[in-house]
């Protein structure tokens, strides 16, 4: 769904990765390996996302580390979009598909702000 709105696959993957790993730092080559993407696309998108303010970076020795800037003006909105489309939702769908044919499931918890999985409160088959 998000790839329809944002046409750069590398940008979607980077935004998703950083939003779903808040507080963690990653370096350029590490992101290439994690996302299995081309060097050029990762390099270009890191520069774009940093210049936009979504990412911050710091060079330590020969390595530049990147992390999501939680103070970015649109961070909460982007975080909400990512978690609704690919974050917790995908993980829940994968886990619940192993159980069987579930018609509905209800969850509670502050997963958007805490980053913790919501508590399952009811399911129906």
Q: What is the pLDDT of residue 27?
A: 96
Lowest mean pLDDT among 11-25, 28-42, 77-91: 77-91
**CATH class name, domain 2-68:** mainly alpha
Cβ atoms within 10 A of the Cβ of 38, count?
A: 11
- pLDDT, one tens digit per residue, over 34-85 is 999 999 999 999 999 999 999 999 999 999 999 999 999 999 999 988 877 7
SS3 content of the chain, % helix, strand, coil (to 5): 50, 20, 30
Which residues of the chain does CATH 1.10.10.10 include? 2-68
Asked if 88 contacts 51 with a C-beta cutoff of 8 angstroms, the reply is no
Give me the mean pLDDT over the 4-20 stretch.
Answer: 86
């Amino acid at each position: 769904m998000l790839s329809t709105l944002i046409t750069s696959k590398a940008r979607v993957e980077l935004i998703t990765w950083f939003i779903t790993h808040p507080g963690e730092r990653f370096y350029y080559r590490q992101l290439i390996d994690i996302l299995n993407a081309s060097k050029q696309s990762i390099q270009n998108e890191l520069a774009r996302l940093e210049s936009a303010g979504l990412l911050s970076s710091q060079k330590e020795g020969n390595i530049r580390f990147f992390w999501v800037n939680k103070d970015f003006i649109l961070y909460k909105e982007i975080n909400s979009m990512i978690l609704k489309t690919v974050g917790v939702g995908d993980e829940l769908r994968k886990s619940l598909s192993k159980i069987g044919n579930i018609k509905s499931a209800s969850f509670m918890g502050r997963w958007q702000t805490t980053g913790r999985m919501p508590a399952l409160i009811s399911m129906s088959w």
